Amino acid sequence: MAIRWDDFPHSEIRLKIHARLGHNAAGRSADDSLRHILQRRLADLNREDHRRFVELEGRNLVEHLRCTRDVYQEFVEKQGCRPILEAHWVVLRCAVFPTAIALLREHVVNYAKLTRIPGRDVSLLFGIPTRTCYQQFDRGITLTRPPDLHDAAAASDTELECLGELVNEDTLLWFRDIIDGGGVGRPFGGGPFAADDGVTIHNSFALCAISDGITLPEWFTLRRKWWHQCSPWTDGLCDMFGSVQEELLSQWRVLPSDSLVRELTLQEQIAGFKPIVVPSERQLPRRLERGKDCEELAEEIETIRHKRNRGGLSIAEIQSECSSFRVWKRIDVLSTEDKDTFLHPGTWGFGYANLLLGKLYANGRRDVAPGTVNTWRKEYRAYLRWQKENPSKTAENFSLELQKVKSGYRKPARSK
């Protein structure tokens, strides 16, 4: 059954969500009383108070997002929307994700307001022009300058709203359309409030450093020191952002299993029998799966290099001709600088493919070493050759044999 998203009774659904959350309920009195106490102390910048307050806020955010998911999923199931996996993906993309952005913005602004964050720090860390960046001259002329370091006045409501708007669809998560697999990607770094965020580094550099002749590497070091000096609220913003981002990723990861359970339950209720489920294609072990992904992406990268350097095509022409390449979407998680390098193949050096893949497979804030990526690719190519000679065996058999070979390379320990 098809139903347009605009035809959903969103107002009724939102009322049901808030009713289910039970705001101001007796069962939440302990957490609420603690929150009331802590929010009065935030301006004192006690690290433990901030940690406990952010934990409470993160708990409420996750609870709200899960309730939003559950209520919307119940509605689409009652409407008979099929297939359920796609319906649940639409709920995540069109209901939970926008709710996450709106809620996180609200909590960020409220947290910053209670902490009385100085406008000077908002400009220095995130590149947002504040009152302290404007200098008045005669005849009503106003010029922008670096913020006054001696001005510790709290940021205004308008300035804090700009801080909240750093949470958006480009910084929280990116979604691939369900038709293309419904993938979800995490932008590079720890989010817009982190010490290593490329966008806010460049914005603050342009606002606060260029006019004083400070170079970008120098500014990176200065800003990082200031970011740590502003702790605990800088850590608090990062933790709050991270809790929402991780919750969205966890909801996406459980979509296939949850949707399958719901589908089977509904079919049993309607037809009164248990359907036969054809198992999905067997997945490779994680290491081989990574090697397969890296090998395919490396081939796309090499094709782009060849078409640019040998064929003389522009990046726009290559993207139009090779629009099916997955790498175009995967680079969305890169920093601005790394994206710019990718869009100029003439600057790629030897081993660039493995270097780029290491950034795409970054674990937390650390890139995977190019040598590790190259090992994944070599093992996957070896698996393909092995598979031709052993068609009846599984990928797990190959992994076991590979481990035995690797163990054989290790020299036995010398006896004393």
Q: Is residue 281 part of a domain?
A: no
DSSP string, 293-315: HHHHHHHHHHHHHHHHHTT---H
Q: Is residue 209 part of a domain?
A: yes
260 and 314 both lie in a single domain: no
31 and 142 both lie in a single domain: yes
Q: Is residue 20 part of a domain?
A: yes
Question: Of the residues 204, 229, 264, which one is the last residue of a structural domain?
Answer: 264
15 and 151 both lie in a single domain: yes
**Residue-level pLDDT at 214:** 93
* DSSP category for residue 332: G
**Residue-level pLDDT at 188:** 81
**Residue-level pLDDT at 114:** 97
Distance CA 146, CA 364 (A): 32
**Residue-level pLDDT at 335:** 85
Q: Which two tokens stand for residue 362?
A: 């970054």
pTM here is: 0.63
**Residue-level pLDDT at 312:** 81
Q: Is residue 115 part of a domain?
A: yes
163 and 258 both lie in a single domain: yes
22 and 138 both lie in a single domain: yes
108 and 229 both lie in a single domain: yes
153 and 12 both lie in a single domain: yes
Distance from CA of residue 268 to its chain's centroid? 37
Q: Which two tokens stand for residue 283?
A: 């997945």
HSE-CB of 378 using CA atoms within 13 angstroms:
8
- Planar angle of CA 411, 413, 416, nearest 5 degrees: 145
Q: Residues near 332 by Cβ (< 8 Å), separated by ≥ 6? A: 174, 185, 187
Q: Which two tokens stand for residue 93?
A: 């993309």
**Residue-level pLDDT at 155:** 96
Burial status of residue 403 (CB atoms within 10 A of its CB: 0-12, 13-18, 19 or more): exposed
Cβ atoms within 10 Å of 205's Cβ, excluding its own: 19
Q: Is residue 356 part of a domain?
A: yes
What is the span of the domain harbouring residue 235? 5-264
Q: Is residue 406 part of a domain?
A: no
Q: Is residue 55 part of a domain?
A: yes
Q: Is residue 280 part of a domain?
A: no
52 and 124 both lie in a single domain: yes
187 and 296 both lie in a single domain: no
Distance CA 263, CA 256 (A): 10
Distance from CA of residue 274 to its chain's centroid? 38
What are the pLDDT tens digits along the chain (416 aa)? 567 888 889 999 999 999 888 766 777 788 889 999 999 999 999 999 999 999 999 999 999 999 999 999 999 988 888 788 888 889 999 999 999 999 999 999 999 999 999 999 999 999 999 999 988 766 666 678 899 999 999 999 999 999 999 999 999 998 877 666 667 888 888 899 999 999 999 999 999 999 889 999 999 999 999 999 999 999 999 999 999 999 999 998 888 776 555 555 555 554 444 443 434 455 788 888 889 999 999 999 999 988 888 878 888 888 888 888 889 888 888 888 888 899 888 888 888 999 999 888 886 567 888 899 999 899 999 999 988 888 888 888 888 888 877 776 555 555 54
16 and 141 both lie in a single domain: yes
90 and 226 both lie in a single domain: yes
190 and 159 both lie in a single domain: yes
* DSSP category for residue 127: -
When divided into structural domains, the chain yields a total of 2
